Chains A and B, each alone.
Chain A
Amino acid sequence: MAKTFTKPRSLSDQYTHYCPGCTHGVIHRLVAETIDELGVMERTVGIAPVGCAVLAYNYFNCDFQEAAHGRAPAMATGIKRVRPDLVVFTYQGDGDLASIGMGEIVHAANRGEKFTTIFVNNAVYGMTGGQMAPTTMPGQRTTTSPAGRDVQQVGMPIKVAELLAALQTPAFISRQTVIDPKSIRKAKQAIRRAFEYQVAGRCFSLVEVLSTCPTNWGKTPLEAVDWVRDTMLPYYPLGDLKTPED
């Protein structure tokens, strides 16, 4: 009997270290499916961030480099400039990309570097234990904002996709989530499109994926999904913010 659903070839056999209810696993799978479908695993180099996904290289089957905190876009620039034939993607969280790595992502996007960034936004620093991130929601309690994010003190959450879409250089910028089957299908389409633009040598591409962190949010996996829908989605609207055709 033919198999109708299998693990992507680009994913390894290792169990992940991600917490129950975390959506990193789903996002990994969507990236791996895309790499399989485009047939580029053998010429793909991924770049792991610092954060929960630092060990992402254990879960993919392609070449990988491990970045310093926030610097993945600079490394991707280095690789892609010297080897334009490779398919390069960075996989970064919101502390990594939107805080310490803001300079690198803005300039890589503005130069129109031909790589793809998967930006996983779960509104918190995950690996270090749930500290406030630039994307933390107003009033959201974290270990460094125990009374809730005070926007008078630290400003409003950064909308990375909108910020990058405002740059004048052509790019593909999309925001998606993976909290239910329908949104997962849409996220897959966006991720695939992002890689296709890169393979065609068209433009920089970034897909922001709103993600869950039940552990650091102090919620059950189901409550976490609800929180993304009820709290994050109204502030971080989904959809393609910019395409190179614009």
Chain B
Amino acid sequence: MGKILMKGNEAIGEAAIRAGCLNYFAYPITPQSEVAEYLSWRMPEVGGVFLQGESEVAVGYMLFGAAGAGERVFTTSSSPGISLMSEAISYIAAAQLPAVFVNIIRGGPGLGGILPSQGDYFQATKGGGHGDYRLLVMAPASVQETAEMVMQAFPLAEKYRNPVMILGDGLIGQMMEPVEFPDHLRTAPSNKDEWASSGMSTRGSSRRNLVKSLFLDPETLNNQNLLLKAKYDRMKREEVRYEGYNLQGDYRVLIVSYGTMSRVCRTAVDNLKAQGLEVGLLRPQTLFPFPERAIREAAGKSTCRAVISIEMSMGQMVEDVERSVRGIRSVHWYGKCGGDVPTPEEIMEVVRDLDDGGCQTPGCICDKE
């Protein structure tokens, strides 16, 4: 099919259906309520399940139940709602079930605001819920990429039997862009008969399946956590995704930025190039697993003087950037998270300062060095 003009939130709903996910539970919250509005008529049209739950807490567990029964299922929410779902996310990861969560981030903490933010980076990548679990976190930068990532998220969740999170910001959800949905979804044959509590007769088995997360014996629980860790280590080997921009040139500054913010950085890179300053841009497409090695190698380029993480948060991803760079270059941060997206001009000024050898950003992590 050809390109159509679609709002990001609606594209999320349509992409899930085209990925064969016909089960959606949700609770309204700005700025992603259009997903629920869209699917409230679209799911019945395709014979799927749409249910508005009584709270994000309940919705999280509706996903747990549905995923435990072996059915493809997803939800969408925004920051405060994801906090409430984080309990269920921990249980779903512990019970090793596939499910997809979309977080269209708004400003925080608390009620924060309803404008775009990237303030949930820690929550998504370091675990908003309790215990040693990880989410596979994908960060799209356009409506097209959002649709593609939503479709890829389901087979990934099933491959790892682990929740996958699409981390967008309010702009991703609210803006309209042309989108072309991929025709086919490549999915490995499901092994859900081995684990889903789908009813013994469903799978023609006399062996029952238990979906659980309680392991009272210390050795058993430790082994369970080692098993989870092995999956997360495999994600680090197989699922790292990133995009480079102007990394072939002799750049003097390396920007690391994701999502909507990376698009503004791209414009800044172009403008600075026109003015004679070469800047590289590395855009993580997966936030966990994080492209540590790619960032370290890009930072190691002989012409590169400094690395900066530009994000719509008060310095979250920069900690992973610093960890990746391992001290071979100075690492800096620039960001805003009130809802205004930093402009290309702001970014250009910050990068020029860095090239001149002096970071002028108040509160930058380099203050501590």
Contacts and interface: CB of A to CB of B under 8 A. Distances in A.
B61 A74 contact: yes
Interface stretch (B48-56, B108-116, B158-166): B48-56
B290 interface: no
Given A63-B199, A81-B51, A81-B66, A68 B61 contact: yes
26 contacts: A42-B199, A43-B199, A45-B69, A54-B214, A63-B209, A64-B211, A65-B68, A65-B95, A66-B95, A66-B213, A68-B61, A68-B87, A71-B57, A71-B58, A74-B61, A74-B62, A75-B68, A77-B53, A78-B63, A78-B68, A78-B69, A79-B68, A79-B197, A82-B23, A86-B199, A104-B57
B51 A57 contact: no
Interface of A: 41-45, 47-48, 54, 57, 61-68, 71, 74-79, 81-83, 85-86, 103-104, 107
A65 B66 contact: no
Interface string B194-216: 00011111100000111111100
Contacts of A78: 25, 61-69, 73
Nearest to B199: A43
B270 interface: no
A50 to B, nearest CB: 9
A68 B90 CA distance: 10
Interface residues of B, number: 39
B320 interface: no
Interface of B: 23, 25, 49, 51, 53-55, 57-69, 71, 73, 87-88, 91, 95, 197-202, 208-214
Contacts of A68: 61, 87-88, 91
B209 A81 contact: no
Contacts of A79: 65-66, 68-69, 197
Contacts of B57: 71, 74, 103-104
A107 to B, nearest CB: 4
B23 A66 contact: no
